[in-house]
Amino acid sequence: MRALRPLRALRGRTDVAPLREGAGVVERRTSLRGRAYALVIAVVLAPVAVIFGARQLDELEAGRMLADARRAAEAARGAVEASRGAPPAALASIEEAAAREGARVRVLDGGGRVLADRDGEPAASLRDRAGDLFFGPEGAPTLRDHDEAAAPLPERAEVRRALERGRDEGCSGALGGKLLVCHAALRFDAGDGPGVVLAQRGSPRAIRALYDVRYPLLKLSLYALLSGLALCALLVRRVVRPIEALRDEVLSRAEAPLSGEAITARAPREIGDLAAAFNALFAAIAEQGRSNHAFMVDLVHELKSPVAAVRAAADAMRGGGDLPAARAERLGRALHDSSQRLDALVTQFLELARAEAGLPGEERAEVDVGALVQGLARALREDPRHASLRVDAEVAEARVRCVPGRLESAIQNVLDNAASFAGEGGAVRARVRAQVRVQRGACEIEVTDTGPGIPAEDLPRVFDRFFTRRSSGRGTGLGLALARAIVEAHGGTLEAASPPGEGACFTIRLPLVSHGVHTQPTDDSPGV
What does the pLDDT average to over 450-476? 74
Q: 199-208: per-residue pLDDT in tens?
A: 998 877 655 5
326/391 Cα distance (integer angstroms): 41
Q: Kindly report the CA angle at 485 between 483 and 487, in degrees rounded to 5?
A: 70
Mean predicted lDDT score pLDDT of the chain: 76
Q: Is residue 86 part of a domain?
A: yes
pLDDT(97) > 70: yes
Is the pLDDT higher at 468 or at 134? 468
**Which of 118-122, 352-356, 376-380 has the highest mean predicted lDDT (pLDDT)?**
376-380
In this structure, are 307 and 426 located in the same domain?
no
Look at phi and psi of residue 32 and say left if phi exceeds 0, alpha if psi is from -120 to 50, else beta: alpha
Query: 276 and 398, same structural domain?
Result: no
Number of domains in the chain: 3
In the prediction, which pLDDT does 32 show? 67
Of 356, 380, 404, which marks where a domain is finished? Answer: 356
250 in a structural domain? no
SS3 126: helix
Same domain, 381 and 327: no
Whether residues 341 and 465 share a domain: the answer is no
Domain boundary among 183, 199, 214: 214
Q: Judge if 68 and 207 occupy the same domain.
A: yes
Identify whether residues 294 and 407 lie together within a single domain. no
Question: What pLDDT score does 85 carry?
Answer: 62
| pLDDT value at residue 516 | 44
What separation, in Å, do the N-terminal and C-terminal C-alpha atoms of the chain show?
Answer: 68
Instruction: Give the residue-averaged pLDDT of 413-436.
Output: 84
Question: Whole-prediction pTM value?
Answer: 0.48
Domain that includes residue 147, residue range: 46-214
**CATH at residue 206:** 3.30.450.20
Examine residue 100 and state whether it is found in any structural domain, yes or no: yes
The answer to whether 135 and 122 are in contact (CB under 8 A) is no
CATH number reported for the structural domain that contains residue 514 in this entry: 3.30.565.10
The answer to whether residue 75 scores a pLDDT higher than 60 is yes
Q: Which amino acid is located at 137 in the chain?
A: P
403 shares its domain with 497: yes
Q: Are 445 and 486 in contact (CB under 8 A)?
A: no
Q: Is the pLDDT of residue 76 over 60?
A: yes
Do residue 371 and residue 487 come from a single domain? yes
Spatial separation of the C-alpha atoms in residues 344 and 396, rounded to whole Å: 33
Mean pLDDT computed over 448-456? 88
- List pLDDT tens digits, range 81-94: 887 766 777 788 88
Q: What is the pLDDT of residues 176-189, one digit of tens each?
A: 777 888 999 999 88
5 pLDDT above the threshold of 50: no
- Residue 493: beta bridge partners? 509
132 and 110, same domain (yes or no): yes
Helices 32-82, 87-101: crossing angle, 10 deg rounding = 160
* Judgement on whether residues 509 and 434 belong to the same structural domain of the protein: yes
Look at residue 496 and tell me whether its pLDDT is greater than 70.
Answer: yes
pLDDT level of residue 478 (50, 70, 90 thresholds): confident
Alpha carbon distance 526, 9 (integer Å): 73
Model confidence at 366: pLDDT above 90: yes
CA-CA-CA-CA torsion for 324, 329, 332, 336, nearest 10 degrees? -170
What pLDDT, on a 0 to 100 scale, did the predictor assign at position 258? 65
Q: What angle in degrees, to the nearest 10, is found between the helix axes of 325-356 and 269-317?
A: 160
Q: Tell me: the pLDDT tens digits for 257-316?
A: 666 677 777 667 777 888 888 888 888 887 777 777 766 776 676 677 777 777 777 777
> Does residue 16 have a pLDDT over 70?
no
DSSP letters of 204-258?
E-HHHHHHTTHHHHHHHHHHHHHHHHHHHHHHHHHHHHHHHHHHHHHHHTSSSTT
The three-class DSSP label of residue 513 is coil
Is 201 exposed, middle or buried (CB count within 10 Å of its CB: 0-12, 13-18, 19+)? buried
pLDDT of amino acid 313: 73
Closest CA relative to residue 239, chosen from 278, 279, 277, 266: 266
Which of 11, 14, 9 minimizes the C-alpha distance to 30?
14
Domain boundary among 306, 336, 356: 356
